[in-house]
Amino acid sequence: MNGFAAPVRTAEDRPSSGEAPFHAGEVFYSRTDKHGIILSGNSVFHRVAHYDRSQLVGAPHKIIRHPDMPKAVFRLLWERIGRGEMIGAYVKNRASDRLFYWVFAVVAPTPDGYLSARIKPTTDLLRMVEGLYADVLRAETDEGLSPEESAAILVERVKSAGFESYNDFMTHALSEELLAEASALKARPDPAVANCRTMLASAKSLKSATETLVSQFEALRIIPHNMRVAASRLEPSGGPISMLSRNYGVMSQELSDWFSRFVLGRDSTFSVVFDHVRQALLLQSMVGILHRCDRQLQLEGRQAGEEALEDDRQILLGLSDRFAERAGSAISCVSDEAFRISTACDEMSRQLLGLSTARVTCKIENARLSDASGGLDDIISQLGLSQRQIGDLLAAIRARSAEISGFCRAYQAGRGSNPAPGYR
């Protein structure tokens, strides 16, 4: 259990203007057909939107759309769910009495349409989003942008705020809102979400270390050329230093192959780890919200003395089970890749040991030569520095990989003993 209650508030005072009452810990639920026509919704939705159930069921979901919302957000939404993907976004809605309310909404496809669950946003990210939406809406109005153009601007603005992609932003925002909500309510945060968040921080640190490793490696690759230049000044063609430079070039190519396999590109091992941890975090956050929706519907059904919401509960639970299974698969992949990273680091360390032997041999040959003015001393020093730096980075990568492996074991152990967070 994550400690959240499922409050059902049937009546409350509403202000004459401003924000509609919507409380931390509450969760909206609604389900639509493929055309966005509302099929059902929970009492929180009816109360905050200030519509009777009969007014909402059969109405288009855009009945609650607020004019402050840019078209870009809905373009992104329909693109994602049209591809069968989930999406999360901050949304400003308008109630029937013209009060407004902000939500963080997650939308996912169902067999006959779409499901939406919304929580109350409380973090500083909302302030950033308000300014961002206002800018995009202004551009839409002033420049006559199409939904596609404004969506592209929105994504670029999100990236300029420090996020890799919109997917990166929505995953961060959703987990931030869930953890902030738990803290405000003095409830225990969802352990799977908290675990994935910590794992993601380690994955980001791992990614940063590998990016530094790439730059160090690029500096290392020029050394064989410098050695050949020095050898041409220090000895006849085919001498010991020339041979060492060629051997060093072979070792350098082996390191290059290692980088191609494990570090570089979107399909590399390091990218796979980061992407799968982020996917698991998004899925686990969705699972937590869907189970809260289920508890809300359970309580409403008991209070109404009927099972009218049972179909919705089965859809919720089926969807959450699929998300939980996908999250578990993503973590299994992360665990496998973390092991591959550790093995790869061992391989690269052995290759570095070969470079160390080459460096020692260079020092011996340099001392033997009567004229050391060819710059070999500097090359030997550069080689030693690069090897130490790469060795330190490999140690850091091993440590992050070990952390991630530990988080994976903790996640899998918790999921094995309690596969559906105890909400049913």
Strand partners, 37: 60
Rounded-to-integer distance, Cα 71 and Cα 46, Å: 24
Quick one: pLDDT band at residue 1, thresholds 50, 70, 90? very low
**Residues with Cβ within 8 Å of residue 208, at least 6 apart in sequence:** none
How many degrees, rounded to 5, is the angle at CA 327 between CA 322 and CA 330? 130
Question: pLDDT band for position 111 (50/70/90)?
Answer: confident
pLDDT greater than 70 at residue 21: yes
Per-residue pLDDT tens digits for 207-259: 777 777 777 776 666 776 677 777 676 666 666 667 667 766 676 666 666 66
- The predicted-structure confidence for 175-185, as pLDDT tens digits, reads as follows 999 999 999 99
The full 3-state SS of the chain, as one line of letters, equals: CCCCCCCCCCCCCCCCCCECCCCCCCEEEEEEECCCEEEEECHHHHHHHCCCHHHHCCCEHHHHECCCCCHHHHHHHHHHHHCCCCEEEEEEEECCCCCEEEEEEEEEEECCEEEEEEECCCCCHHHHHHHHHHHHHHHHHHHCCCHHHHHHHHHHHHHHCCCCCHHHHHHHHHHHHHHHHHHHCCCCCCHHHHHHHHHHHHHHHHHHHHHHHHHHHHHHHCHHHHHHHHHHHHCCCCCHHHHHHHHHHHHHHHHHHHHHHHCCCCCCHHHHHHHHHHHHHHHHHHHHHHHHHHHHHHHHHHHHCCCCCHHHHHHHHHHHHHHHHHHHHHHHHHHHHHHHHHHHHHHHHHHHHHHHHHHHHHHHHHHHCCCCCCCHHHHHHHHHHHHHHHHHHHHHHHHHHHHHHHHHHHHHHHHHHCCCCCCC
pLDDT band at 419 (very low <50, low <70, confident <90, very high): very low
- Calculate the CA 248 to chain-centre distance: 39
pLDDT score recorded for residue 77: 95
Residue 420 confidence (pLDDT) above 80: no
Residue 44: pLDDT above 80?
A: yes
347 band by pLDDT with thresholds 50, 70 and 90: confident
Rounded-to-integer distance, Cα 414 and Cα 295, Å = 21
Instruction: Please work out, in degrees rounded to the nearest 5, the angle formed at the alpha carbon of residue 366 by the alpha carbons of 362 and 368.
Output: 120
Nearest-Å Rg of the Cα atoms of the chain is: 28
Q: What are the pLDDT digits (tens) for 348-385?
A: 787 777 767 767 777 777 677 655 545 677 777 777 78
Q: Which two tokens stand for residue 93?
A: 């809605």
Note the pLDDT tens digit of each residue in 49-105. 999 989 999 999 999 999 999 999 999 999 999 999 999 999 999 999 999 999 999
CA-wise closest residue to 100 among 178, 8, 22? 22
Q: What is the mean pLDDT of residues 120-141?
A: 95
Q: How far apart are CA 251 and CA 347, in angstroms?
A: 12
Per-residue pLDDT tens digits for 285-342: 999 999 999 988 888 876 654 555 788 888 999 999 999 999 999 999 999 888 888 8
d(CA 3, CA 182): 8
What pLDDT was estimated at residue 308?
A: 55
Helices 71-82/125-143 angle, 10° precision: 100
pLDDT band at 139 (very low <50, low <70, confident <90, very high): very high
| pTM of the shown model | 0.80
Q: Compute the distance between CA of residue 372 and CA of residue 366 in angstroms, rounded to an integer.
A: 6
Question: Is the pLDDT confidence value at 265 over 80?
Answer: no
Q: Assess contact for 365 and 240: CB atoms under 8 A.
A: yes
- What is the C-alpha separation between 331 and 325, in angstroms, rounded? 10
